[in-house]
């Protein structure tokens, strides 16, 4: 059994790249739809073997249902984003066939990251993903801000790579292998943990924190989110986070599971600072994309919290939260992609003023999603937070739970501020009406999802519990 979906996706991406020069008229649309089909097929390939579990390429990669679950989540997100790109948001600077191809390659990177079972394969796939994302961020080349964001992202990203490599070398120096299995065996035979191993782990964790933009390694996030083309921001705020969390979970639970006491402390610091910075930093933002960056940091802190106990329930709750997080974020960004005034994209919070007057249905949908992000019951965001808090309190981490709920009140403040401008403020100039039927339906769909999750949370719990099982079966 080969690592089929990734290989399929990579081959397709490369062959599309070869086709492009031979096409008579280089059309971004045809390539885009082709990519959509490719994503659809890879989704099929993943779902076909979702319960399959095997080490492949000499333990370089691993196939299991935990990975397959996250991968199919990524592919669903990728399909939606490509669809948004084709039908909703494609400013002139993005209308190039390369966009879809680089997008596909970054997806390959993410999928490989999740399957990695070795520090080396992890490093390579992470680089594949990151390099493609650097290009995507600075894709609108003539735009000064986009290029600046790309450079910033690249510099921080390369720093993260260096740190990761350094950590890897420390771990390799002590263990004598980079394979997760070997590390795991080494760890289980230890009586006391060597300090250098913990230092190595800290380096690796710092690098991954840079990827998931957990505070205090979040500095790049607001700038890059604001500078990147909106469609790329949509991508950045969702899919790479899933992939990085997949890596983080696999790395911490499997090879380093024995030293949970040590990394638990690090994660506690990361999670608390992310929640605090994510909620306080957003208070005075005026740009919607920048605000979403801080909102992401806050959510990341919340998710990291669930990893601290390192238990099966905790990881189940992370998976559930990720599903809800993706739907909420995609919903909000779908709206941001649709924000135009006189055909020009705008992203300021002031532009939302008085949206209710001009488009009541859209205003209602977006408010439901915002309330859900704020964690107000009975919406999906609340269910996610409830499940995570349940785990935290089960492990007697009351201090964390109290910080989590207090910061979520602060975070509620700025989500409610958005709703305030949508409903109560007088519009300066009205936004263009969304005349695109698909986005209306999709936005309604996202809102409806957030509204109805409370009726069947069991479905998500069962699904995620069954996939997490495979992660612990390896042990």
Q: Between 50 and 461, name the residue whose CB sits nearer to another protein.
A: 461
Q: Between 57 and 424, name the residue whose CB sits nearer to another protein.
A: 424
Asked if residues 245 and 212 have their Cβ atoms less than 8 Å apart, the reply is yes
Q: Which residues bind another protein (CB under 8 A)?
A: 371, 376-378, 382, 386, 389-390, 393-394, 398, 401-402, 405-406, 408-409, 412-413, 416, 420, 423-425, 454, 457-458, 461-462
Query: What's the min distance (Å) between Cβ of 447 and another protein?
Result: 13
Q: Between 267 and 419, name the residue whose CB sits nearer to another protein.
A: 419
Query: What's the min distance (Å) between Cβ of 392 and another protein?
Result: 8
Asked if residues 117 and 370 have their Cβ atoms less than 8 Å apart, the reply is no
Query: What's the min distance (Å) between Cβ of 400 and another protein?
Result: 10
Strand partners, 54: 63
Query: What's the min distance (Å) between Cβ of 444 and another protein?
Result: 13
Please state, in angstroms and rounded to a whole number, the distance separating the CA atoms of residues 352 and 336: 10
Q: Between 157 and 375, name the residue whose CB sits nearer to another protein.
A: 375
Residues for the chain: how many in total?
A: 475
Please state, in angstroms and rounded to a whole number, the distance separating the CA atoms of residues 450 and 332: 12
Residue with tokens 């992939």: 243
Query: What's the min distance (Å) between Cβ of 359 and another protein?
Result: 14
State the pairing for strand pair 61-63/54-56: antiparallel
Contacts 24+ apart (CB under 8 A), 159-165: 159/210, 160/130, 160/206, 160/207, 160/210, 160/211, 161/123, 161/126, 161/127, 161/130, 161/207, 163/203, 163/204, 163/206, 163/207, 163/210, 164/123, 164/126, 164/203, 164/204, 164/207, 164/208, 165/123
Q: Between 41 and 423, name the residue whose CB sits nearer to another protein.
A: 423
Please state, in angstroms and rounded to a whole number, the distance separating the CA atoms of residues 459 and 435: 35
Q: Between 8 and 371, name the residue whose CB sits nearer to another protein.
A: 371
Structure tokens, 418: 């958005």
Q: Between 136 and 411, name the residue whose CB sits nearer to another protein.
A: 411
DSSP assigned state of 140: S
Query: What's the min distance (Å) between Cβ of 320 and another protein?
Result: 12
Query: What's the min distance (Å) between Cβ of 465 and another protein?
Result: 11
Query: What's the min distance (Å) between Cβ of 261 and another protein?
Result: 22
DSSP assigned state of 55: E
Q: Between 394 and 429, name the residue whose CB sits nearer to another protein.
A: 394
Run of H or E including 61: strand 61-63
Asked if residues 164 and 116 have their Cβ atoms less than 8 Å apart, the reply is no
């Amino acid at each position: 059994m080969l690592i089929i979906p990734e290989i399929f996706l990579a081959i397709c991406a490369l062959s599309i790249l070869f086709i492009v020069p031979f096409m008579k008229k280089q059309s971004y649309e045809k390539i885009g739809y082709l990519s959509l089909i490719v994503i659809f097929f890879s989704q099929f390939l993943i779902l076909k073997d979702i319960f399959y579990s095997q080490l492949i390429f000499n333990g370089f990669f691993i196939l299991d249902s935990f990975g397959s679950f996250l991968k199919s989540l990524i592919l669903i997100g990728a399909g939606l984003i490509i669809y948004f790109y084709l039908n909703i948001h494609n400013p002139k600077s993005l209308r190039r066939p390369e966009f879809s191809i680089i997008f596909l390659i970054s997806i390959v990177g993410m999928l490989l990251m999740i399957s990695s079972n070795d520090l080396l394969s992890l490093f390579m796939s992470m680089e594949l993903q990151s390099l493609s994302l650097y290009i995507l961020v600075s894709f609108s080349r003539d735009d000064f801000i986009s290029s600046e964001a790309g450079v910033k992202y690249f510099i921080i990203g390369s720093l993260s790579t260096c740190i990761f490599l350094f950590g890897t070398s420390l771990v390799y120096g002590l263990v004598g292998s980079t394979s997760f299995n070997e590390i795991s065996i080494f760890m289980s035979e230890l009586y006391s943990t060597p300090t250098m191993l913990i230092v190595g782990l800290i380096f690796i964790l710092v690098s991954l924190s840079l990827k998931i933009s957990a505070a205090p390694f979040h500095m790049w996030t607001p700038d890059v989110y604001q500078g990147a083309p909106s469609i790329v921001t949509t991508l950045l705020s969702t899919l790479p986070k899933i992939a990085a969390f997949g890596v983080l979970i696999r790395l911490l639970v499997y090879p380093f599971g024995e030293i949970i006491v040590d990394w638990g402390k690090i994660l506690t610091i990361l999670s608390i600072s992310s929640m605090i910075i994510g909620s306080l930093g957003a208070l005075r933002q005026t740009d919607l994309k920048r605000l979403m960056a801080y909102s992401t940091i806050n959510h990341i802190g919340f998710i990291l919290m669930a990893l601290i106990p390192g238990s099966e329930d905790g990881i189940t709750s992370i998976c559930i939260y990720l599903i809800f997080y993706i739907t909420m974020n995609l919903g909000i960004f779908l709206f941001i992609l649709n924000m135009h005034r006189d055909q020009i994209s705008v992203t300021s919070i002031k532009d939302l003023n008085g949206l209710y007057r001009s488009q009541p249905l859209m205003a209602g949908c977006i408010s439901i999603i915002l309330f859900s992000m704020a964690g107000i019951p009975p919406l999906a965001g609340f269910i996610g937070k409830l499940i995570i808090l349940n785990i935290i309190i089960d492990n007697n981490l009351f201090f964390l739970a109290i910080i989590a709920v207090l910061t979520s009140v602060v975070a509620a403040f700025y989500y409610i501020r958005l709703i305030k401008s949508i409903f109560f403020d007088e519009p300066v100039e009205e936004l263009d009406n969304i005349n695109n039927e698909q986005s209306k339906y999709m936005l309604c769909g996202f809102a409806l999802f957030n509204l109805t999750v409370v009726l069947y949370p069991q479905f998500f719990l069962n699904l995620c519990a069954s996939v997490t099982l495979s992660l612990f079966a390896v042990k």
